[in-house]
Amino acid sequence: MRRYIVQTLRVELGDRSYSIVISGDMLGGVGPALADAGYQGRVALVSNPTVFDLYGAGVMASLRSSGLEPFRILIPDGEEYKSLASAESIYGELLRARLDRKSLLVALGGGVIGDITGFAASTYMRGIDFIQVPTTLLAQVDSSVGGKTGVNHPLGKNMIGTFWQPRLVWIDIGTLRTLPRREFLSGLAEVIKYGVIWDRDFFECLGRETDKVLGLDAATLGRVIRRSCEIKADVVSKDERESGLRAILNYGHTIGHAIETATGYTEYLHGEAIAIGMVAAARLAGVLGLIDGRQTEKIEALIRNYGLPTTIPGPVGFDEILSCMQLDKKTVSGTLTFVLPEKIGVVRLEKGVRPEDIRKAVDLSR
Ligand SMILES: NC(=O)c1ccc[n+]([C@@H]2O[C@H](COP(=O)([O-])OP(=O)(O)OC[C@H]3O[C@@H](n4cnc5c(N)ncnc54)[C@H](O)[C@@H]3O)[C@@H](O)[C@H]2O)c1
């Protein structure tokens, strides 16, 4: 992949606005960008051993050569380490290194590292700056943008968290070459989501460019990641704290989360469960008479063509799905709310969906 900067976008949030830089094979640009922004002194690079072995040395060298004094904090690889215990170990390292309120954290990794680093940054000394250097597709198009941080609790995923925006998101598309294929495909579910909820042309483009995207064509990926970030930035700028519009980013997540919970988080990657949830939600829109059947078929076909699952696994019963949905933190006072497509590019929030209608959609999705 040749070295280039595809584009810089802005997330407009007043004095918390920040840039998203999309580059190819340019991790070495992180240090100069931070020096330009006025950062000095000690910087903690938070990562896991998998990602650090691949990219840590390059980012550390870039920080050092820009006059910063980086040190690394590694937490073990895995969702189970997105925990308060790991956050506590990060605080310990920061305190021992005497990081102060002007210090900076750099998150180098996927969504797990980004979420926990953001959480640690938002709580350490009542909040210090951090930047995101996302290395999975999911993190590049979704979790690194928008400022949701958090850790899991034994009683629920992402139950402890904050809204805390990064100061910069530095995306290097080149890092996707080492990402396991299944993780890459899982990230594409969120990309397809943006097409369905916001931009019909983007959805159509994903249909035309399937082979190039799946073949990791750099220019195509650059465009796809840029458009995904633009849409997320647009939505977040209008509703940072999810009091309304931002909820549309949860398309596919109501049933998707229930499937993840019901299968103990071992069967499906997040994006795979969301893919199934997006098809089921489109079917639910059909059951409620909100969408034309041909549009539902197009959504399902695109998801399938990207190698993602589309059907709810047989062993997961409807009652289990329903009870998982009722326990979800996005379910308010037991009222089931869904993001449902009316047509590709347009969704609506549907409150108080009846369990019997959900059951019909679930049956259609087997
Ligand atoms: N904050 C948000 O808005 C938001 C949104 C969506 C998801 N999330 C969170 O994101 C997390 C999932 O993120 P994820 O899918 O990135 O998973 P992840 O962070 O666990 O990364 C997946 C795997 O890929 C490895 N990896 C990362 N980059 C690599 C690379 N370039 N080459 C080789 N291996 C690499 C990781 O070490 C890990 O084993 C979940 O905890 C989820 O709750 C947060």
Classify residue 234 as exposed, middle or buried by CB count within 10 Å of its CB (0-12, 13-18, 19+).
middle
Q: Is the CB of 160 under 6 A from ligand 1?
A: no
Q: Is the CB of 232 under 6 A from ligand 1?
A: no
Kindly state the tokens that stand for 308.
């993602």
Alpha-carbon gap, residue 269 to 77, rounded angstroms: 15
| SS3 assignment, position 182 | helix
Q: Tell me, what amino acid is at 171? A: I
Q: What is the pLDDT of residue 149?
A: 98
Mean pLDDT by 10 residues, the chain (366 residues): 74 97 95 96 98 98 98 97 98 97 98 98 98 98 98 91 98 97 98 98 98 96 97 97 95 95 93 98 98 98 98 92 86 86 97 95 93
Alpha-carbon gap, residue 140 to 160, rounded angstroms: 22
Which of 167, 226, 270, 283 does the annotation list as catalytic?
270
Query: Catalytic annotation on 232?
Result: yes
Q: What is the pLDDT of residue 5?
A: 67
Question: Are 358 and 306 within 8 A, CB to CB?
Answer: no
Task: Give Cα 20 distance to the centre of its chain.
Answer: 14
Distance 84 CA to ligand 1 centre (A): 17
Distance 150 CA to ligand 1 centre (A): 13
Q: Is the CB of 357 under 6 A from ligand 1?
A: no
Kindly state the tokens that stand for 114.
């980004």
Alpha-carbon gap, residue 197 to 339, rounded angstroms: 9
Alpha-carbon gap, residue 24 to 334, rounded angstroms: 45
Question: Are 293 and 273 within 8 A, CB to CB?
Answer: no
Rg (CA), the chain: 20
Query: Catalytic annotation on 270?
Result: yes
Alpha-carbon gap, residue 91 to 193, rounded angstroms: 35
Q: Is the CB of 165 under 6 A from ligand 1?
A: no
Q: Tell me, what amino acid is at 135? A: T
Q: What is the pLDDT of residue 327?
A: 83
Distance 81 CA to ligand 1 centre (A): 12
Question: Are 340 and 288 within 8 A, CB to CB?
Answer: yes
pTM above 0.95, yes or no: yes
Nearest to 257, CA basis, from 278, 242, 282: 278
Distance 193 CA to ligand 1 centre (A): 17
Kindly state the tokens that stand for 272.
């795979």
Query: Catalytic annotation on 320?
Result: no
Query: Catalytic annotation on 272?
Result: no
Kindly state the tokens that stand for 115.
């979420």
Distance 273 CA to ligand 1 centre (A): 15
Question: Are 353 and 338 within 8 A, CB to CB?
Answer: yes
| SS3 assignment, position 284 | helix
Q: Is the CB of 139 under 6 A from ligand 1?
A: yes
Q: What is the pLDDT of residue 4?
A: 67
Q: Is the CB of 253 under 6 A from ligand 1?
A: no
* 325 Cβ contact list (under 8 Å, min separation 6): 254, 255, 257, 258, 331, 336, 358
Kindly state the tokens that stand for 93.
């390292």
Query: Catalytic annotation on 257?
Result: yes
Alpha-carbon gap, residue 366 to 354, rounded angstroms: 19
Q: Is the CB of 242 under 6 A from ligand 1?
A: no
Nearest to 140, CA basis, from 207, 222, 202: 222
Query: Catalytic annotation on 148?
Result: yes
Q: Is 354 left (phi over 0), alpha (psi -120 to 50) or beta?
A: beta
Query: Catalytic annotation on 343?
Result: no
Task: Give Cα 246 distance to the centre of its chain.
Answer: 13
Distance 77 CA to ligand 1 centre (A): 10
Q: Is the CB of 110 under 6 A from ligand 1?
A: yes
